[in-house]
Structures are given as C-alpha cells and as structure tokens.
Amino acid sequence: MNVAFVGLGVMGYRMAGHLARAGHTVTVYNRTSTKAAAWCAEYGGTCASAPAQAATGAAVVFCCVGNDDDVRAVTVGPEGAFHGMAKGAILVDHTTASAGLARELDVRARAAGFGFLDAPVSGGQAGAIAGKLTVFVGGEEATFRVVEPVVRAYGHAVTRMGAAGSGQLTKMVNQILIAGLLEGLAEGLHFAVRAGLDAKKAAEVISKGAAQSWQLENRAATMIDGKFDFGFAVDWMRKDLAICLSEARRNEASLPVTALVDQLYQRVQARGGGRWDTSSLIDLLAKP
Amino acid sequence: MNVAFVGLGVMGYRMAGHLARAGHTVTVYNRTSTKAAAWCAEYGGTCASAPAQAATGAAVVFCCVGNDDDVRAVTVGPEGAFHGMAKGAILVDHTTASAGLARELDVRARAAGFGFLDAPVSGGQAGAIAGKLTVFVGGEEATFRVVEPVVRAYGHAVTRMGAAGSGQLTKMVNQILIAGLLEGLAEGLHFAVRAGLDAKKAAEVISKGAAQSWQLENRAATMIDGKFDFGFAVDWMRKDLAICLSEARRNEASLPVTALVDQLYQRVQARGGGRWDTSSLIDLLAKP
C-alpha cells in the first residue's frame, strides 16, 4: 500500500520503519529534513518536502507530532496533508492530542471526502522499537477496518473505542491512572527508604500482591537509585495532563489527585527535570 | 507441632484452619467464644478461655487481631499469651500494627525468653481462604527459620525483611502504594464514564500497558458498577493509613497524596461506607 508518515520523532521514526519493513511503500516528511534523509537511508523510502507532497498518492497518511497546533499545521495548515490527499484517503493521527481536535478534524475530513481516525499510542520508545504499541482508536468502523491491518505493523493491541475523539479520551484515562499510580509508588518507596528498609527487596515482595503494577515492576529499582534519564519525559506528561484536566473541566469530572500530581510535575520541571522520566516524582520527596 | 492461634476474624479463622489441616495441634482463643466453638467444630482443635491458656504448651503462638491495643491485650495484658508461654516459645503477630509496637514486644519477649516476629499479611480474605497470603516478616533470622515452614500453610510468599518492625514497615509501603493507585484508578474510570466512553472496554484495553495494575484488573468492573460490598474495608484501610502517616511523621517522610487519600476515605466513612471496599473512592467522584 502507498502510505505517508509525517513526524519522525522518537515514536514516528520507528513506526514508519515498521510500515516499510511490512512491505508498504512509505513517503515520509519531517520538519528537520536531515532526520527524514536518515530514515530514507535506513529504510529505503522517499522523502517529501512538505506534508501535502508526502500525502499525494497515499491511501493512508499517518502523523505523529507534538501537540494540537502541530497536528493542525501538518494536516489543514498551508502545505498540510489535506492539500495532497485524494478523495477516499484516510488520515490517522497517532499524536496524543485533545478529543476536541479529533472531532474537528473528523468534520473537516468528511467535508473533504477523507476518512479520519484519532489513534494515540501507549508503550513508549521501547514499544515503538519492538513494534508492540497499544493503539486506542476513535472514528468510523469502516475506516478502522481498512487501517487496522496496516497499524498491526507496530501495534500489538489495536482497539476501536468508538466515534472520533474516543481514542484520545482513552489515552487520557491511561495517563490519569499512571499519574496517581506513580505518585503512590513514589511515596511508598520514599517511605521505605526513610524507614530504613531494603526498599528494592520491599518492592519485589510487594509486587506479588494487591499493590502490583507495571510501574512497580519496571520502575521501582530506578526510582530508588534516582535514575531518570530515560523513559517518558515529564514535559510530555504535563502536555497530556493539561489535555486531561481541560477535558475534565468540560465534562465536569473531578480529578483532585491528577491535578495535584500535575502541579508536582511542574516542580520537577522547575528543578530542571523536564526531560526526566515520569517516575521522577520521587525526587521531590527525596530531595525537597 | 503444638501451636496456638488468637483471633479468629475473617483472616485468622482461615489461617488457623490451614494450620490444623497441615497437621498441627491447634488451640484457639477468640474474644467471641461462639466463633471459637464453631472453629473447633469445623477443624477439630481445642478452645481456650484466655490467650494465656491457649499459649500454654504451644511452641508457636500466632495472633491476628484488630489494632495495637488489641495486640497488647492478647499478649502482655492480664491473661495475655505471654503469661502462658514457656521459655523458647515464639509469638508471631499477624496483625497490621505499628512498627513501634513490634519493637516494644520484641524487647519484652526477649526479656521473658521468648522469640517474637511481626508478620502482617497481604492478600485479603480470598488469600486467607486459598492459603495464598503474602507475609512480611520482621525479627531474628533464627526465629524466622523455625516459624517459616509453619507459616507456609497459608503463606505463598513469606519473606523476612529485617529486624523487628520491618514486617510492619513493609506492609505500610504496600498500603501507601495502594492508596495512590486506587485514587488514580478512581479518577481515571470516573473520567471515562463522564467522557461517554465504554469504561469497561477502556479499562481492559489500558490493562495491557504502562497503567496496568492488579487493582485495574480486579476492581475496574466493580468500581464502574458502583459495587463495594466486599473486599478490604475502608475502616481497616484508615486504621492502616493512620499507622503509615504516624510513622512518616517519625521518619520525616513526605506523603502528600497518601494524606489526601486518607481524608477522602474519611468522607467515604462519613457517608456510611466504612465497610465498603477501598475501591469505593470512585463513589466520592461519581456522587459528590
């Protein structure tokens, strides 16, 4: 299939690579063109000079960029993908963005004769490299059926959650869960260290019971060691939590601890930890 | 082995039963004597009229009661187990109590020529019935080696964490983790419902990634349905969190979200939910 991929960041670079390896003909666009050139050298695709050019002739156009504004720029902006897409082509947005943007793009795509899916992912850089991402999809069932086998190139769990926007909403639920969970984990491990326990041993023993979590199993040791130079950056988590809190205001949902953890992440940023992994909440407790 | 079990509550009744089924000669004591009689009828042990009487001739005396005061009453109080134990006998306290109490009883046990282990458990009623509890143990290594094979009757993970009190401290870490995790889960599922998502489907999809937890897998459906008449009661969680927060004050550990969740549980109690499962935090969000 002829496809386009716009945005070759930490996630997109690998996702586009999996599409090429699965046998699709991939045209890529990236704001920093040297990265696009490196991708084409590695995977043997074609580099385009603008999203519109990349989208020309593509049955499916994927994008994975930074935030709502970036998505608008590469889709409906000047030289955006919408200006190159043919009727019947589908735009799949892998960016974690607002549900409102997804609904807006869905309307504009329909008006232009395109399909649209919001499809944020979970699983991080490791998941992107391994091709084992979880993909939360919103949009038309028929559109989903066309795209789903293609997305399987990097998604080991690809689920349609409902109408446009519901992929984004599901990703927000994911981030809300992680925020509370990580602060609880940070406080528990901080307590363990202060109490003089062998905190790594405590984490291991506890992981067999009702306090078990992926974060406990995969982050306890690095949290205790104060290692945060990897993983999912606090800057990105704050972007996601801003979307969650804004959406919660709209839906009148109450998120007291999520709002507090967002503020704690602000303090991590203020001490220079914007690029640290989200598990760095423990640093605020260990080094007040 | 001749053993005694003091406190036949939801947990102790089953734990003592596993000891009897493993072939030990068990003498039991319970404050409400009818329950002790029922236990003896079911498992064929002997009922004692006081902890001291139950402890007479026992190599190991187990207790599993309510709080610090209850533990003091059945051990060093008038007619407490210490008055019946022989030199060399061991007291194993399965109650979730303070680390300070554990250290106090350790000193008093040594002075009297007894062994002492603090050994709070995790796994709830289901774990007690199945004989698959996680047991966090504090105390002397030599004492632990004697008791560990006996505790295996109901403990599938029995770990010595260090000196007296360290079993209790590890249990506190467990409860701190659960508090933050459950509030994050409550906020996420509440958000999902408000946003119009199929919340159960979202929980299932999310449980494959970085937000995965035992609580998500085992409590999401009942939380969404507003079912809380089972599991681990809010009243007991507040007792445990009081111990955590008191210990944190002593060790100068910072637990901002744990303290907040403790206050949220106070609100659950105030609306009559003291006996509800700890996952009932979502009720505060769903029905403010």
Q: Which residue has the tokens 């008791």?
A: B147
Q: What percent of chain A has pLDDT over 90?
A: 98
Q: What is the pLDDT of residues A5-34, one digit of tens each?
A: 999 999 999 999 999 999 999 999 999 999
Chain B contact set for A99 (CB, 8 A)? 195
The 3 state secondary structure assigned to chain B is: CEEEEECCCCCHHHHHHHHHHCCCEEEEECCCHHHHHHHHHHHCCEECCCHHHHHCCCCEEEECCCCHHHHHHHHCCCCCHHHCCCCCCEEEECCCCCHHHHHHHHHHHHHHCCEEEECCEECHHHHHHHCCEEEEEEECHHHHHHHHHHHCCCEEEEEEEECCCHHHHHHHHHHHHHHHHHHHHHHHHHHHHHCCCCHHHHHHHHCCCCCCEHHHHHHHHHHHHCCCCCCCEHHHHHHHHHHHHHHHHHHCCCCHHHHHHHHHHHHHHHCCCCCCEHHHHHHHHHCC
Q: Are A8 and A16 in contact (CB under 8 A)?
A: yes
Shared-domain flag, residues B126 and B184? no
Q: B134 to chain A: nearest residue by CA? A: A209
Do A225 and A243 lie in a common domain?
yes
ipTM here: 0.96
**pLDDT average, residue stretch A217-232:** 96
Give the residue from B162, B181, B214 where a domain finishes. Answer: B162
Q: Which amino acid is at B65?
A: V
Per-residue pLDDT band for A67 (boundaries 50, 70, 90) equals very high
In the DSSP assignment, the letter for residue A30 is -
- Rounded CA-CA distance A149/B141 in Å is 57
Q: Are residues B68 and B6 in the same domain?
A: yes
CA angle, B17 then B20 then B22, to 5° = 110
Which of A35, A87, A132, A171 is an active site residue? A171
CA-nearest residue to A186 within chain B is B177
* A76 CB burial (10 A radius; 0-12, 13-18, 19+): middle
Burial annotation B63-88 (CB, 10 A radius, 16+ → b, else e): bbbbbbebbbbbbbbebbbbbbbeee
Query: A187 with A87, same domain?
Result: no
Domain at B76, CATH number: 3.40.50.720
- Contact between A197 and B170 (Cβ < 8 Å): yes
- Number of CB atoms found within 10 A of residue A41's CB: 10
Chain B residues touching residue A220 (CB < 8 angstroms): none
Structural domains in chain B (count): 2
- Cβ contact B210–A169 (<8 Å): no
* Final residue of a structural domain among A146, A162, A178: A162
- A110 and A190 belong to one structural domain: no
Domain end call among B123, B139, B162: B162
Under the banding of pLDDT at 50, 70 and 90, the label for residue A113 is very high
Grade residue A62 by pLDDT with cuts at 50, 70 and 90.
very high
Same domain, A134 and A182: no
Q: B181 and A185 in contact by Cβ < 8 A?
A: yes
10-residue block means of pLDDT along chain B (288 residues)? 97 98 98 97 96 98 97 98 98 98 98 98 93 97 98 97 98 98 98 98 95 97 97 96 98 97 98 98 96
- Indicate the residue of A255, A264, A288 with minimum beta-carbon distance to B191: A255
Q: Which of A206, A210, A248 sits opposite B173 (nearest CB)?
A: A206
Domain identity same for A175 and A156 = no
Residue A155 carries which side chain, given as an amino acid letter? Answer: G
What pLDDT shows up at residue B122?
A: 94
Report the residue of chain A nearest B197, measured CA to CA.
A166
Residues A282 and A188 in one domain: yes
B253 touches chain A (CB under 8 A): yes
CA of A122, closest CA in chain B: separation in Å? Answer: 7
Whether residue A22 is found in the same domain as residue A38: yes
The domain that holds A236 is classified in CATH as 1.10.1040.10
Show residues of chain B in contact with A251, CB under 8 Å.
191, 194-195
pLDDT in tens, A269-288: 999 999 999 999 999 999 99
pLDDT for the residue B176: 98
- Cα A179 from Cα A192, distance rounded (Å): 20
Pairing mode, strands A60-63 and A2-6: parallel
Q: Are residues A13 and A135 in the same domain?
A: yes
pLDDT at B73: 98
Structure tokens at A246: 């804004």
- A2 close to B (CB below 8 A): no
Distances (CA, A) of A194 to A190, B197, B241: 6, 41, 17
Write down the mean pLDDT value for chain A.
Answer: 97
Give the residue numbers spanning the domain of A119: 2-162
3-state secondary structure A98-112: CHHHHHHHHHHHHHH
**Which residue is associated with the tokens 């690579």?**
A17
Kindly indicate the confidence band of residue A1, based on its pLDDT and cuts at 50, 70 and 90. very high
CA A107 to mean position of chain CA atoms: 23
Nearest to B173 among A99, A173, A188 (CB): A188
Residue closest to A61 by CA, chosen among A132, A143, A140, A177: A143
Q: Which residues pair with B121 in a beta bridge?
A: B135
Measured distance CA(A65)–CA(B59) in Å, rounded: 67
Residues A175 and A155 in one domain: no
CA distances from A271 to A182, A183, A222, B95, B132 (A): 19, 18, 19, 42, 44
- Same domain membership, residue A38 and residue A137: yes
Residue A191 · residue B245 · CB < 8 Å: no
Which of A177, A210, A256 lies closest to B211 in CB terms? Answer: A177
Cβ of B178 within 8 Å of Cβ of A122? The answer is no
Q: Which residues in chain A touch residue B210, judged by CB atoms under 8 angstroms apart?
A: 122-124, 174, 178, 214-215, 218, 232
Give the closest-approach CA distance of B239 to chain A in angstroms.
Answer: 17
Record: contact A157-B247, CB cut-off 8 A: no
Chain B touched by A247 (CB under 8 Å): yes
Touching check for A117 and chain B: CB below 8 Å?
no
Annotated catalytic, A132? no
A251 to chain B, any CB pair closer than 8 A? The answer is yes
